[in-house]
Amino acid sequence: MKKPKASISAREIFGQNLRRARRLKDVSQEDLALRAELSRTYVSEVERAVRNISIDNMELLAVALGIPLKDLLNPDLFASLEDHISSGK
């Protein structure tokens, strides 16, 4: 039986999905920051959901990764991949 997911904020969803997408594309925080013309520290803070990111910077990061912005806000986008990895299948 699956445990119910705790409610998380859009900021946390974006940060988690950004990190997952960046890692899947094998891009470092520094490289992503350079592509988006942002600082590496800023990217780190966004991924950890400690920074309240603007919609403009969300778009910059999505474009830099080549991913639609709506995908980075989808709470279920990477869930199946993460479940697959954690179950060892």
Question: What mean pLDDT, rounded, does the chain reach?
Answer: 87
- Architecture of the structural domain at 10-87: Orthogonal Bundle (1.10)
User: Looking at residue 85, what is its pLDDT?
Assistant: 47
Q: Which tops the pLDDT comparison, 45 or 82?
A: 45
| 77: nearest Cα among 25, 13, 27 | 13
Tell me the per-residue pLDDT of 11-28, one tens digit each, with 9 for 90 and over: 999 999 999 999 999 999
Q: Which residue ranges make up each domain of the chain?
A: 10-87
Prediction pTM value: 0.81
Which band of pLDDT confidence, cut at 50, 70 and 90, is reported for residue 43? very high
Given a contact cutoff of 8 angstroms between Cβ atoms, the answer to whether 46 and 53 are in contact is yes
Instruction: Give the separation between CA 61 and CA 26, rounded to whole angstroms.
Output: 15
Secondary structure (3-state) at 9: coil
Buried-state track 62-76, b at ≥16 Cβ within 10 A, e below 16: bebbebeeeebeeee
Segment 49-76 shows an average pLDDT of 96
